[in-house]
Amino acid sequence: MEASDLEYAALKVLLKPIEERTGLGESAAFLNWFLRNVYRLEDTEARDAICDHGNDKGIDGIFIDHNNEEIHFFQSKIKQAPNGKVGDVGPKNFIASVQQFDQVDKVASLLAGNADVDLKRLVVRTGVAEMVSNGYALVGIYVTNESNNADSIEYANITPALRIFDRAEIASKVIDIDATEGQKQSFTFDTSYVAPMAMQSGAGKSATSMYVFPARALQLVHMDGISDGTLFRANVRYTLGNTAVNKSIRQSIAEKSSHGDFVLFHNGIIILCAEVDDSVVGELTIKNYSVVNGAQSLTSFYATKAKLTDDLRVIVRVIMVQDEELAKTITHNSNNQNAIRPRDLRSNHAIMLRLQKEMDSAPGSHFFEIKRGEVAPPGTTVITNDEVGRALLAFDLKEPWLAHQVYKVFDEKYADIFGRPEVTASRVVFVHRLVQTVDAALPGLKNKPMGSYTLTRYFVLYVLARILRANEATKQYVAAPSLLTEAQMADFLTKCGEILKTVVVDLSYEASEGEFDYKSILKSPNQSTDLAGRVLASYEKDVARGKAESFNGWDPS
């Protein structure tokens, strides 16, 4: 996109379809377009972030950036004059509007006042007060089709909470998905400070040459196509915006004392090209090139190029490839490496190591898998910590609606799930066997898609937990399953299986009623709790009528 595309006449044409489709006014349509094309939000998210009405207290939109712990307040300005300048009056007034939210009591006053209803709803929906109390920073995003001038630039430089997106800045951030730019023609690296390591794979026509060397970030930012994203067109993804990865990279760039070490902890950048020329000493020229891995790094370098030093270097692999299929393979594999998951980060934690060791010495033949790729001893039953973690989340913590979010098991819920004295090897095996009992009962669910849905097993486990904890004969064994001998445990599980047959019948009935959206219901705390209550009430009626198995009067001795 060119900056001139945002002059009023051209912008009006650009916004007309949005106005017709959404019914938004011109300014709101401009913000909607900005949020989708610069912030890269989905259309619904973009619409949800906008509140451009009268008496909106100078705030046209709000977006919560959880990665950077920031609250972004937007103001959208359109001027018809093609030579309009931003100045400092508009931004100053806008920052004053943003400061209405810098304290929780101010937010409360705004909600109690005469502000626009849509603004109030947006403030409540996005949890602004909570974010402010949690220390999130307030940032004003001034969006305009005008051009920056000395006054606006000077004010922005002394106001860290302000970010001005004028027409040039917006144009530089937009990736035109209809653009025809392909590979960049030519770029020459200065390699006078290092001799690139030349490598070759294959032979004959299939030979592929690769050059590996530490490139200066100060050179890399001069490659064509970083600002508009066309350099990464061959990549499987573009830069991902304000992610935790980008935040980490920017923090490393800001710490100039660590620039010399940057190359040690960065994965590197991969460049594919059609031709390499190293005939000139101290130079490496590449032609028809594109970056297939490293978009986030390059865009971070480009965005903070004023902070770069000659010491900040990154390993670059230049691969000269003619085979299109090989190029696709390199692109795919370089972006599809095994990611580090929260589970991996906990694999050497004391709690996990303790449980694994305890499992090894416990009765029975079970193996507690805490690392992906671990090989279990022959003849053992494998219990993975991610699966049992979700089961404990449903059975002990009574939150089955979160069981599909595996990352929470090893992140915010980790201590609550595993960091309890009662979570022993015995309990892990007990809950695992209960899950197996649930799995054996689920084929009886008439709604087969629901029966195979991951959250269903944890919901049924949650219902079983409520039944067992409500019964005087079983609640002590739920708390301490090690009190049961193996024969008693077998009887216990058999009875659980019989109870679940009734539970599944009752759940089948509920699922047949009206518009039963099990996917939404099982993810909702309120709806899941209500559904469990109805199933339990039906089960208790069947028990009272002698039509269902129960633990009433059960004595394992």
Beta strands in 246-345 (DSSP E): 269-277, 283-293, 313-320
Report DSSP letters for 162-207, one per residue: EEEE-HHHHHHH---TT----SEEEEEEE-TTS-PEEEEES-GGG-
- CB contact at 8 A, 397 and 356: no
Q: pLDDT truncated to tens, each residue of the chain (557 aa)?
A: 889 999 999 999 999 988 887 778 899 999 999 988 888 676 777 888 888 665 567 899 998 886 568 899 999 999 999 899 999 999 999 999 999 999 999 999 999 988 888 899 899 989 999 999 999 999 999 999 999 999 999 999 999 999 999 999 999 888 664 333 445 689 999 999 999 999 887 665 556 899 999 999 999 999 988 877 678 765 544 444 455 555 667 777 878 888 988 888 788 899 998 899 999 999 999 998 888 888 778 888 888 888 899 999 999 999 998 776 677 677 766 654 445 567 877 776 778 888 888 888 776 789 999 877 677 888 899 999 999 999 999 999 999 999 988 889 998 898 889 888 788 899 999 999 999 999 999 999 998 888 888 899 999 999 999 999 999 999 889 988 989 999 999 999 999 999 999 999 999 999 987 778 888 899 999 999 999 999 999 999 999 999 999 999 999 88
The pTM of this model reads 0.46
Structural domains present in the chain: 3-173 (3.40.1350), 184-334 (no CATH), 342-544 (no CATH)
The phi and psi torsions of 144 (rounded to 5 degrees) equal: -150, 155
- CB contact at 8 A, 408 and 467: no
Helices (H), 316-447: 324-334, 342-346, 350-361, 385-395, 406-409, 414-418, 425-441
